[in-house]
Amino acid sequence: MESQNPNCMYEFFISSDYPDKYWIQYHSNLSLKHINFIIGKKIDISTNEALPEFSLKEKVSEEKLLNYDLLHCGNGPSLISPKFTEMILTHFSNEVQLIKAKLRVNDKEYSGYHIMNIINKVSCMDKERSVFKLSHRPDGPITINKLVISKHQLIGLNIFRLEESLSTIVVSPKFAELCSTANLKGLSFVEIEVN
């Protein structure tokens, strides 16, 4: 990744080259439904509660799958690798709640994986300069074609959900640069205009 522009922010995605055959499945328990991970709040986890479980049905190359540091899940939150977890713990532990999870691939269990629960949400979309379409439902999601965000709302934030569209994750240049420096795989960043 080239040097990051310090006067911008980035939208955080799973990389477009992430193979479909590596989509993992979330085995939801009653208290940790997928929706809990996209509302931008800390989740109260009981110490007696079973760890969230993820698996992959297909037989795949474990070495190739585990090369990715962000594992995409079709029916739940994504998982992050032990290497990505360490980067979060070192630099962003006050902005992300890490929830231990079990990963099962080819009948083997892997530890050190976590759900990355982003606990900040910020209303910072510049509605005059962004291009978006409202849902037909009053509280439905919006579709954003071009995102412009207001800088004055972002002081000291490195990762957050956009309150206007909770599925949109925004990160700072520092976050993107540290991911690049750590050579994390399976992530991509698209520059967002900041005004």
Which of residues 96, 118, 140 is at a domain's end? 118
Asked if the model's pLDDT at residue 194 lies above 80, the reply is: yes
Check whether residue 143 and residue 108 sit in a common domain: no
> Does residue 141 belong to any structural domain of this protein?
yes
- Token pair belonging to 84: 């990505």
Which pLDDT does position 36 carry in this prediction?
Answer: 82
> Does residue 7 belong to any structural domain of this protein?
no
Asked if the model's pLDDT at residue 4 lies above 60, the reply is: no
Write the DSSP string, 166-180: EEEEEE-HHHHHHHH
Which pLDDT does position 187 carry in this prediction?
Answer: 95
Which pLDDT does position 118 carry in this prediction?
Answer: 93
- Token pair belonging to 15: 């990389």
Which of residues 101, 118, 135 is at a domain's end? 118
The number of distinct structural domains making up the chain is 2
Give the structural domain span for 164. 121-194
Give the mean pLDDT of the chain: 88
Which pLDDT does position 86 carry in this prediction?
Answer: 97
Check whether residue 44 and residue 85 sit in a common domain: yes
Give the tens place of pLDDT for each residue, 68-86.
999 999 888 999 999 999 9
Asked if the model's pLDDT at residue 1 lies above 50, the reply is: no
CB 82 within 8 A of CB 112: yes
Which of residues 83, 118, 153 is at a domain's end? 118
Rounded to an integer, the average pLDDT of 83-101 is: 95
Q: Which residue has the higher pLDDT, 67 or 39?
A: 67
Q: Which residue has the higher pLDDT, 168 or 30?
A: 168
CA 72 to the chain's CA centroid: 9
Confidence tier at 135 by pLDDT (50, 70, 90): confident
Confidence tier at 24 by pLDDT (50, 70, 90): very high
Task: Compute CA distances 171 → 22, 83, 140, whole Å.
Answer: 25, 18, 24
Residue entry with tokens 């994504």: 78
The pTM assigned to this predicted structure is 0.88
Give the tens place of pLDDT for each residue, 156-187.
899 999 999 898 999 999 999 999 999 999 99
